[in-house]
């Protein structure tokens, strides 16, 4: 699986059949978990005890010696991350035993990160669990904290600009950071507002867009003010990793791409008429792909390192239209997304009647890209081999749902910055759509669109 495509390429043993003895063990484990914990508190790796020490010890002492192998069997019946966290929090022995089992378990089901860093786990029934309020590390805690992207267990957060009393900076972001939702580790990125040139290291270049109609301008150590819409990473930000962070910004009607990697002190910004507008981003086969959200325009960007970090060395428009025989080739409003799935790059297109503000969805189409043709070819597909795809402003993820017995060939849509009222599940098998998390996401109908913050999908790596 490519680095941007989640965990769907990993292979795991199938879940063992559930015998009556195993089901009894599972039910007893739930009872012990319920006696010692509650959903609350700190990130996603542990939960506080709410009972007295003596009550807690009495409740779990008979279970503390449960063998790790048996805990592993129990864990297979808890694909929801919230339940796994509850099991770990029962006692020290269980926590140690569970840690030893995690490397042989299928990844837990995805999590939806809601505004204000609230979390809801997907259940094995394909529904969202009750919301958990979690804390973020004090060093990055702030009012109006936003989440704008994720990679494995990492989240990308931004804080409001400290100059927001100034009308120009009212919608601008201030600090940007990566935070691990499990270990709570924080990596600080350069601020999202810079008002001074680094004259000694400043450079500017222009690249002609191959198959395009204009140039894209790239500025290093430039002046900028940004409000991030989406952030993607090329790899996990492990120590020594040469990962690249790419952000899409839309501040005061000025759309830009911003690029950063460890060692750089400022963001490098990129803009041009061809790539203007809301974008969806993805890393695939070593290239950065930029897809315009409201048009079938796809650009491939090659990146190379230089003495200032790295630069965009080549940009090409590689897709401009749907297949000629497609019934939706002409007119209509569309919303486009990308996802890496089992080594392929897919384009997901939602078609709307008249315009997107009409809120009437007509059709969902999924295409596999053929990157070996010029321009790229598109082939419509109607199955993702039992997997699921999760679509949101912070990026799209694919997930091997069959590992947990969850219904597959589904695409989950949540409100985003192009279609802030979409929240539905689409079946690729029969084209049917059904509401998704209506109560949980009802707030998006009651809030002015300019004040909306949007949920982000997180695929835990553990």
- Are the CB atoms for 312 and 207 separated by under 8 Å? yes
| Among candidate residues 170, 229, 157, 228, the one with its CA nearest the CA of residue 417 | 229
The listed range with the strongest mean pLDDT (26-35, 37-46, 233-242) is 233-242
Proportion of the chain above pLDDT 70, given as a percent = 80
Q: Describe the strand order of the beta sheet including 333-341 as a list of residue ranges.
A: 333-341, 344-352, 361-370, 377-380
Q: 299: which residues sit within 8 A by CB, 6+ positions away?
A: 209, 212, 274, 275, 289, 290, 291, 315, 316, 317, 318
- Lowest mean per-residue pLDDT among 50-59, 116-125, 448-457: 50-59
pLDDT class of 336 with cuts at 50, 70, 90: very high
- Predicted pLDDT of residue 40: 36
Q: What is the mean pLDDT of residues 135-142?
A: 87
CA 252, chain centre distance (Å)? 25
Q: Which residue has the higher pLDDT, 250 or 89?
A: 250
Q: Find the radius of gyration of the CA atoms of the chain.
A: 23
Read off the pLDDT of residues 75-113 as tens digits, 9 standing for 90 and up. Answer: 777 788 777 777 777 777 777 777 766 667 777 889 999
What is the Cα–Cα distance from 217 to 256, expressed in whole angstroms?
10
Closest to 291 (Cα-Cα) out of 337, 233, 257, 328: 337
Give the Cβ contact number of residue 336 at 10 Å: 22
CA–CA dist 389, 396 (Å, integer): 7
The phi and psi torsions of 406 (rounded to 5 degrees) equal: -80, 145
Mean pLDDT for the stretch of residues 296-302: 95
Highest mean pLDDT: which range of 55-69, 108-122, 443-457: 108-122
Query: Whose CA is closest to 146, among 174, 104, 182?
Result: 174
DSSP letters of 200-263? TT-EEEEEE-BTSSSEEEEEES--EE--EEEEEESS---TT----EEEEEEETTEEEEEEE-TT
Determine the pLDDT at residue 358: 63
Higher pLDDT among residues 143 and 40, named by residue: 143
pLDDT of residue 15: 40
- Residue 43 DSSP label: T
With 50 as the cut, is the pLDDT of residue 14 above it? no
What is the overall mean pLDDT for the chain? 81
- What's the average model confidence in pLDDT over 376-382? 95
- Give the range among 298-307, 352-361, 424-433 with minimum mean pLDDT: 352-361
pLDDT classification of 333: cutoffs 50, 70, 90:
confident
**Phi-psi map region of 141: left, alpha, beta (phi>0 left; psi -120 to 50 alpha):** beta
Backbone angles phi, psi at 402, to 5 degrees: -65, -20
Per-residue pLDDT tens over the stretch 36-62: 443 333 456 544 444 455 544 545 556
- How far lies 256's CA from each of 209, 311, 444, 457, in Å? 15, 15, 26, 23
pLDDT at 6: 43
Note whether 234 and 243 are within 8 A (CB). yes
The tokens describing 134, both together, are 């979690």
- H, E, C per residue of 398-410: EECHHHHCCCCCE
Q: Are 47 and 85 in contact (CB under 8 A)?
A: yes
Residue 130 has pLDDT above 90, yes or no: no
Q: Which residue has the higher pLDDT, 241 or 291?
A: 291
**DSSP-assigned letters across all residues of 388-447:** EEEE-TT--EEE-GGGGT---SEEEE---SSSTT--EEEETTT--EEE-STTTTGGGGTS
CA 240 – CA 220 distance, rounded (Å): 23
- Supply 420's token pair: 């802030």
Average pLDDT estimate for 212-218: 91
Beta-carbon neighbour count of residue 291 at 10 Å? 23
Tokens of 331: 């007119």
Q: Given this model, what pLDDT does residue 36 score? A: 46
SS3 call for 153 = coil
């Amino acid at each position: 699986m490519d680095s941007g495509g989640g965990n769907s390429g990993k292979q795991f043993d199938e879940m063992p059949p559930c015998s009556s003895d195993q089901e009894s063990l599972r039910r007893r484990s739930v009872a012990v978990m319920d006696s010692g914990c509650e959903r609350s508190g700190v990130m996603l790796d542990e939960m506080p005890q709410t009972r007295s020490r003596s009550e807690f010890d009495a409740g779990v002492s008979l279970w503390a010696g449960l063998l790790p192998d048996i805990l592993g069997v129990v864990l297979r019946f808890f694909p929801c991350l919230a339940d796994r966290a509850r099991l770990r929090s029962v006692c020290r022995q269980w926590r140690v035993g569970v840690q030893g089992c995690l490397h042989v378990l299928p990844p837990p089901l995805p999590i939806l990160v809601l505004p204000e860093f609230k979390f809801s786990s997907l259940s094995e029934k394909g529904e969202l669990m009750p919301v958990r309020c979690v804390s973020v590390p004090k060093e990055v805690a702030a009012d109006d904290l936003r989440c704008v992207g994720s990679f494995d267990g990492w989240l990308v957060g931004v804080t409001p600009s400290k100059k927001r009393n100034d009308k120009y900076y009212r919608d601008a972001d201030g600090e940007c950071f990566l935070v691990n939702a499990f270990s709570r580790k924080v990596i600080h990125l350069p601020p999202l507002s810079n008002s001074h040139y680094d004259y000694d290291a400043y450079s500017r270049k222009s690249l002609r867009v191959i198959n395009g109609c204009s140039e894209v301008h790239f500025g290093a150590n430039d002046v900028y003010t940004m409000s991030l819409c989406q952030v993607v990473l090329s790899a996990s930000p492990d120590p020594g990793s040469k990962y690249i962070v790419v952000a899409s910004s839309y501040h005061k009607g000025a759309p830009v791409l911003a690029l950063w990697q460890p060692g750089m002190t400022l963001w490098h910004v990129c803009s041009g008429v061809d790539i203007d507008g809301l974008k969806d981003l993805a890393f695939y086969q070593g290239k950065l792909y930029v897809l315009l959200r409201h048009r079938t325009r796809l650009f491939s960007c090659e990146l190379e390192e230089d003495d200032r970090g790295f630069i965009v060395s080549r940009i090409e428009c590689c897709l401009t239209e749907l297949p000629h025989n497609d019934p939706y080739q002409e007119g209509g409003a569309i919303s486009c997304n990308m996802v890496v799935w089992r080594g392929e790059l897919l384009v997901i297109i939602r078609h709307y009647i008249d315009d997107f503000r009409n809120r009437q969805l007509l059709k969902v189409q999924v295409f596999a890209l053929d990157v070996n043709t010029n321009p790229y070819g598109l082939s419509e597909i109607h199955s993702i081999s039992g997997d699921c795809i999760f679509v949101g402003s912070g990026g799209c993820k694919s997930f091997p749902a069959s590992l947990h017995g969850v219904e597959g060939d589904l695409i989950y849509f949540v409100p985003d910055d192009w279609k802030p009222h979409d929240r539905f599940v689409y079946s690729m098998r029969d084209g049917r759509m059904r509401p998704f998390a209506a109560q949980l996401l009802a707030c998006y109908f009651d809030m002015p669109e300019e004040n909306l913050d949007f949920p982000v999908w997180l695929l835990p790596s553990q």
